[in-house]
A and B are shown apart, each in its own frame.
Chain A
Amino acid sequence: MNRTPLVDRPGDAPFALWAGREIRVDQFCADVYALAEALPDGAHLINLVSDRYVFTVAFFAALSRGQTVLLPAQREPALAAEQLAGYGTACALTDTHPVVQAFAPAENGVATSPDCERDHTAVVVFTSGSTGTPQPHAKTWGLLDRFRRQHAQLLDATAGDAGGILATVPSWHMYGLEWAMLLPTVAPVAVYCGADFYPQDVAAGLAALPSPVLVSTPVHLRALRALPVAPRNVRLVMSATAPLEPQAAGHIEARYGAKLLEIYGCSEIGTVAHRLTAASLEWQFFTDFAAVWQDDRVTLSHPELPQPVELADELSPVQADRFLLKGRRGDIVKIAGKRESLANLNAQLLGVPGVQDGVFVQPPQGGDRLAAFVVAPDMSSAQLRRELAQRIPSAFMPRPLKRVASLPRDKTGKLKASDLQHLLAVAESGK
């Protein structure tokens, strides 16, 4: 028996700011116990709750009962059901579930934290694999515990007096799970649980927190530039899901008067490395990881990982535990934190009835979307989009989608990258 506490902070410390209400650690514990009582039996809990606080309570309630939380890649209950077919008894906790509807925060706290076995499979995260079938990645409570403590140490070393977290990423995505859901259970920070998506709301949330850490992404950090006045009290800016250029990093630090900490990871493992980008482009693995290098590929071991994991990106080692990010291996693209194989996307496009030829192209500067060139003279663009939307994740829907008479394939049927980039340049200049 090796049970460790789910929350490891003083009971009277602020844990969350929810609907303008401060919730203490001991009150959070009380909420977890209460919800655990209300949950139906079953080995698994599919956590589809959209409210960040209730999601967190449900997650820990499941753990305290020895249940495993399932986090499907698709949040729509109908689509999620498909992915989770093999998981036996599972309660799907949606926003309309009676337990969620009946949730009311506790007035009185409970001094003792609920706990969980270290070996217990706490959560299974699903990623859409390159074949299109979702891949499960199971994580033990021991792994989550070890990770959150390493993260808390890093936070302490980087911004020791931070008092809050506002994340523009959801808690059911690995990045948000670690840095918005788990971190406040061990680090002295209160997590903002409220509107945190539109720039106006992010600004309001940051203003309501003491010395907050902004846990965000390049997409959102760009969107926040629309605010006429930058939030004044940010203690640390964090970014992940795509690497920032050093120039962008410098701008962010100047705008917020705070350091920018980037983290790098994958859903298969979690966060694995970090860097203070304005100071250095080199990433550093967290100390528990052992890296074995082979050319541009690295395999990571960790005491809490059941087996070593090879990272999908191309990295170049600077030292055993430091590296530079070279980029995706040719075929893999990453958008909105999701990875897909270009080959698979192309195959899906060509599989649409009526598409005679087509190809996805990644714009050279990165950008947020893929472009696509399609030969489909008998289809309307609307039809094309509808068909495609059923076959690929929405983040990979092409913008722009250019209709062309033919693709510049050579005699062997290949499309040269330079020809595609040229097509793209012509398309852009024609706007």
Chain B
Amino acid sequence: MTQTKEQQAMAELIVDILNIDDVEPGEIDPDAIMFDETGLGLDSIDALEIAVAIAEQYDVHISAEDEATKEIFATLGNLTAHVQQEVQARQAAS
């Protein structure tokens, strides 16, 4: 499945921040499970690094709401959508 522009930007952020050299940002399937060996094989430290990078780049702060956070981080698509939603909500409120 091809990436949207926003998904591509998020993929680039992930690849850059996690120093993943063997996968091109454009290759990450937006629906693949990121924390699986079938996907990117990320672990919890990666989740932390991604959360920090997203805070710095988008000023969106992820916190652990248990099930909700797992869903957000499940796929590139979910993560991008969540960040976009937060950014738009902030813009609407300002």
Contact = CB atoms under 8 A, between A and B. Distances in A.
Nearest to A50: B66
B19 to A, nearest CB: 4
A395 B48 CA distance: 13
Interface string B62-88: 111100010000000000000000000
Interface stretch (A41-49, A246-254, A259-267, A396-404): A396-404
Nearest to A393: B43
Interface in B36-72: 37-38, 41, 43-45, 48-49, 51-52, 55-56, 61-65, 69
Nearest to B22: A381
B18 interface: yes
A197 B18 contact: no
B20 interface: yes
Contacts of B51: 198-199, 223, 226
Contacts of A395: 43, 45
Interface in A304-348: 336
B61 A199 contact: yes
B23 interface: yes
A204 B62 CA distance: 12
B37 A226 contact: no
A200 interface: yes
A219 B41 contact: no
Contacts of A411: none
B43 A386 contact: no
Contacts of B69: 198
A336 B64 CA distance: 20
Name the residue in A200, A226, A397, A403 with the highest tally of chain B Cβ atoms < 10 Å from its Cβ. A226
A173 interface: no
A401 B63 contact: no
A296 B52 CA distance: 38
A352 interface: no
Contacts of B52: 199, 222-223, 225-226
Given A198-B63, A200-B61, A201-B64, A400 B49 contact: no
A401 B21 contact: yes
A395 B42 CA distance: 9
B64 A402 contact: no
If over half of A's interface residues share one DSSP class (helix, strand or loop), that class is named, otherwise mixed; here it is helix
A427 interface: yes
A201 B65 CA distance: 10
Given A226-B55, A381-B23, A400-B20, A195 B63 contact: yes
A370 to B, nearest CB: 11
A397 B64 contact: no
B34 to A, nearest CB: 12
A65 interface: no
Interface residues of B, number: 24
A399 B21 contact: yes
A384 B23 CA distance: 12
Interface in A396-416: 397, 399-403
Contact of A197 (B43, B55, B61, B64): B64
A297 interface: no
A219 B22 contact: no
Contacts of A397: 41, 43
A384 B65 CA distance: 33
Contacts of A336: 45
Interface string A371-404: 0000000000110111001100011010111110
A223 B48 contact: yes
A201 B63 contact: yes
Nearest to B35: A394
Contact of A400 (B21, B55, B64, B65): B21
A401 B22 contact: yes
B45 A368 contact: yes
Contacts of A381: 22-23
B64 to A, nearest CB: 4
Interface string A204-224: 100000000000000110110
B16 to A, nearest CB: 8
Given A200-B62, A381-B23, 9 more contacts: A197-B44, A198-B62, A199-B55, A201-B64, A204-B63, A369-B19, A382-B23, A385-B22, A394-B41
Interface of A: 195, 197-201, 204, 219-220, 222-223, 225-226, 336, 368-369, 381-382, 384-386, 389-390, 394-395, 397, 399-403, 427
Interface of B: 18-23, 37-38, 41, 43-45, 48-49, 51-52, 55-56, 61-65, 69
9 contacts: A198-B48, A198-B64, A200-B63, A226-B52, A226-B55, A385-B41, A397-B43, A401-B21, A401-B22
